[in-house]
Amino acid sequence: MLYYGTYSSRPLTSGTSAEQSSSMNPRLSSSQQTSICSHLGNVKLQLLYKASIHGFTGAAFHQECDNRYPTVSVGYNASGFVFGGYTKQHFNQSGQYVYDDQAFLFSFSGENLLKYPVTGPGNAVKMVGNSGPYFGESLVLVSVNQSVVHSSPGNYYNFSAADMHGNDLQLTECEVYQVEALPPKFEKPWRPMTWESEKKTEMMNNIKSHTPTGCFVSQARVLLIGPVGAGKSSFFNSINSVFRGHVTNQAITGCSTTSLTTQFRTYSVKSGREGKPLPIILCDTMGLEENTGAGLDVDDIISTLKGHIPDFYQFNPTAPLHSETSGYVKSPELREKIHCVVYVIDACKISIMATKLEEKLAAIRRKINLMGIPQLVLMTKVDEACPFVAQDIKNIYKSSYIKEMMQEVSARLGISLSCVVPVKNYGEELELDVNCDILLLTAITQMLRSADSYFDELSG
């Protein structure tokens, strides 16, 4: 079975500002990337060049892409067409044609890839300094330093202009990805897991009957921290779904560049609609953002850990909570404090995490370390990061790519690999999946165990 990877991205070049890093997200969807990779083998796509950031010029394209190969170049227009080409040859500015018998052009019809193989391999690609990707006089993206397409079917590639780009030759975006080989999958899972409905039932019963160590409190309080869109609220909804027996959406979720969660919310999960509350409270926060004065403030995190912030408190990134703020909890009890911190990180964005965001997370982690609160990493969207996992969630610990991402986030955050837990939240599904549930329940189990370590220190 082939393993088709999705994107990552290299660190920003010196010519790209740190503020641009959040925009260096691929426009090509995960399913479109998978479709392209299915024609290339055991590979992933790594974003090199994005015209809206680097510039719609040949010079910008060559600066980012010369001597990088193989590559996939993609154009986008206002009519909604997505199209481009693949070449195994490296780009340069020689002005010469190069031979490539494996080159092809492509376009998308919905999520379906239409492929147009090269018919004149000796003239497959031309190296032109004042243009972007130049496929044999047939298709040129960023032509003559402009955000336009040159299109001439039949010159070394045969395609229908209507199918390729709808005759809309004005580019709204152009991207170039390097094609990188992925390591093979593991024959045996590197973390043993039991994927059976009986195991799910056993885990649910163990969680229901769990009593926090020392009986200091009846419910462990877990704080979820992470960048905007990482899946904090979706995780609560997913756990709630498992114990309700159907997909639920109590916490607000969606797609946005700013946090949809603006209040401090505490969610107590019940076993069934009228059941007993579970021994864990999930605390949701505003999303972290890389820039100062945006997203969740570090001081507000510390106040939350100490139990000073009340439920439904409205976060203000420019004005952190202080002791005179209305609702400030001046003498919090142990049950109001945080007993475990979980960093929620999108697996698809680990490699393109902005430096400022990484520094902010490091500052948060150092302060939490001083407070002696256990910390875990919840790695979400593993199915989007790895189509091998998307095919079957049981492949999670056979995926070498997912292990790479877990190792990378472990190194970036300074948290042991054993404290990194991958999950798939429910998003588009209408029905529960037992294997997805087992991963989610494993995460809750690790949170309870970590909180018990916190209580062990109190009793010691």
Indicate which CATH number applies to the domain containing 417: 3.40.50.300
* Position 144 pLDDT exceeds 50: yes
Residue 322 falls inside a structural domain: yes
Residue 318 has pLDDT above 70, yes or no: no
The pLDDT, as a whole number, for residue 33 is 87
Retrieve residue 131's tokens.
């243009």
Who has greater pLDDT, 18 or 134?
Answer: 134
> pTM for this structure?
0.67
Least-confidence region, from 3-12, 180-189, 326-335? 3-12
Dump pLDDT digits (tens) for 267-304. Answer: 888 887 778 899 999 988 877 776 665 656 777 788 88
Q: Which long-range contacts (CB under 8 A, 24 or more apart) does 82-88 make?
A: 82/28, 82/32, 82/107, 82/108, 83/107, 83/108, 83/139, 83/164, 83/165, 84/133, 84/139, 84/141, 85/133, 85/135, 85/139, 85/157, 86/36, 86/39, 86/40, 86/179, 87/124, 87/125, 87/133, 87/135
Residue 121 and residue 265 share a domain: no
Regarding whether 210 and 285 lie in a shared domain, the answer is yes
Please report the pLDDT score of residue 445 as a whole number.
97
Domain co-membership, 162 together with 15: yes
Helical (H) or strand (E) element with 172? strand 171-181
Same domain, 448 and 392: yes
Residue 410 lies in a domain: yes
Given 181, 212, 241, the domain boundary residue is 181
Residues 250 and 286 in one domain: yes
Does the residue 129 lie in any domain? yes
Domain membership of residue 41 (yes or no) is: yes
For residue 135, pLDDT beyond 90: yes
CA nearest 278: which of 265, 286, 266? 266
DSSP, residue by residue, 359-391: HHHHHHHHHHHHHT--EEEEEE-HHHH-HHHHH
Amino acid 293: pLDDT: 59
d(Cα 253, Cα 4) in Å, to the nearest integer? 28
Tell me the pairing of strands 7-9 and 43-50: parallel
Half-sphere exposure of residue 36: CA atoms within 13 angstroms, side-chain side:
34
Q: Is residue 188 part of a domain?
A: no
Name the domain boundary from 181, 206, 237: 181
Residue 336 identity (one-letter amino acid): E
User: Is 67 inside a domain boundary?
Assistant: yes
123, 156 contact by CB (below 8 A)? yes
Instruction: Dump pLDDT digits (tens) for 165-204.
Output: 999 999 999 999 999 887 677 888 999 999 999 999 999 9
Tokens of 399: 């995926």
400-413 vs 355-371: helix axis angle to the nearest 10? 70
Residue 403 domain-assigned? yes
Q: 162 with 213, same domain? A: no
SS (H, E, C) 119-138: CCHHHCEECCCCCCCEECCC
Separation CA 307–CA 295 (nearest Å): 20
Domain that holds residue 151: 7-181
pLDDT at 319 over 50: yes
Model pLDDT, residue 257: 43
The count of structural domains within the chain is 2
Considering the domain architecture, whether residues 168 and 264 belong to the same structural domain is answered as no
* Residues 358-380: tens digit of each pLDDT: 888 888 899 899 999 999 999 99
The count of other CB atoms within 10 Å of the CB of residue 295 is: 20
Q: Are residues 378 and 455 both part of a single domain?
A: yes
Q: Are 187 and 430 in contact (CB under 8 A)?
A: no
- pLDDT for residue 380: 95
Residues 286 and 353 occupy one common structural domain:
yes
CB 128 within 8 A of CB 57: no
Domain boundary among 149, 181, 213: 181
* Bridge partners, residue 342, by sequence: 224, 376
Whether 187 maps to a domain, the answer reads no
Same domain, 374 and 283: yes
390 shares a domain with 361: yes
Residue scoring higher pLDDT (13 or 77)? 77
Residues 115 and 52 both lie in one domain: yes
In three-state secondary structure terms, 72 is strand
What is the C-alpha to C-alpha distance for residues 32 and 15, in angstroms, rounded to an integer? 29
Q: Tell me which DSSP letter residue 118 carries.
A: B
